[in-house]
């Protein structure tokens, strides 16, 4: 399986997935920590991939997504964005229903 295929599979199998540096319990950068904090405040489960443990994904995903930085939040196969976009969406109230609706759909499936 190529790295590209692996990423596509992760995104397909996880309706809410955060590509980040470190883990939710131990983020390795401030931006990843902020992203985890926002998702934790929304209170729905999410998958994550520690790109520091997966240099192949760290190299390939920015090319695939046309998005150069991490973290990257993907919801239902679509790139939402990085930390700044997550903060903006959270503050405007856009992110909460997106995450909650996706989690609710997943529970029903």
Residue-by-residue DSSP string for 20-54: ESB-SSSBSSHHHHHHHHHHHHHT---EEEETTT-
**Binding-site positions:** 21, 29, 58, 70, 83-84
Mean pLDDT of 2-30: 97
pLDDT at 109: 79
Q: Residue 50: which pLDDT band, with cuts at 50, 70 and 90?
A: very high
Tell me how far apart the alpha carbons of residues 72 and 17 are, in angstroms, rounded to a whole number. 8
Contact 36, 92 (CB under 8 A): no
**Binding-site positions for glutathione:** 21, 58, 70, 83-84
Q: What is the three-class DSSP state of 73?
A: strand
- Residue 16 above 90 pLDDT? yes
The structure's pTM equals: 0.96
Tell me how far apart the alpha carbons of residues 88 and 85 are, in angstroms, rounded to a whole number. 5
Distances 37 to 1, 7, 12, 31, 91 between C-alpha atoms, Å: 33, 24, 24, 10, 13
Q: Which two tokens stand for residue 40?
A: 């934790």
Mean pLDDT of 19-48: 98
Domains and CATH numbers, the chain: 3-83 (3.40.30.10)
Find the helix packing angle between 95-108 and 83-92, rounded to 10°.
90
**Binding-site positions for [2Fe-2S] cluster:** 29
């Amino acid at each position: 399986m190529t790295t590209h295929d692996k990423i596509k599979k992760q995104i397909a199998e996880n309706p809410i997935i955060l590509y980040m540096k470190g883990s939710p319990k131990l983020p390795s950068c401030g931006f990843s920590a902020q992203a985890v904090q926002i998702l934790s405040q929304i209170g729905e489960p999410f998958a994550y991939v520690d790109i520091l443990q997966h240099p192949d994904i760290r190299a390939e995903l920015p090319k695939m997504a046309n998005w150069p930085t991490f973290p990257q939040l993907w919801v239902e196969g679509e790139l939402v964005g990085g930390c700044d976009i997550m903060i903006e969406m959270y503050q405007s109230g856009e992110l909460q229903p997106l995450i909650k609706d996706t989690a609710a759909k997943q529970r029903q499936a």
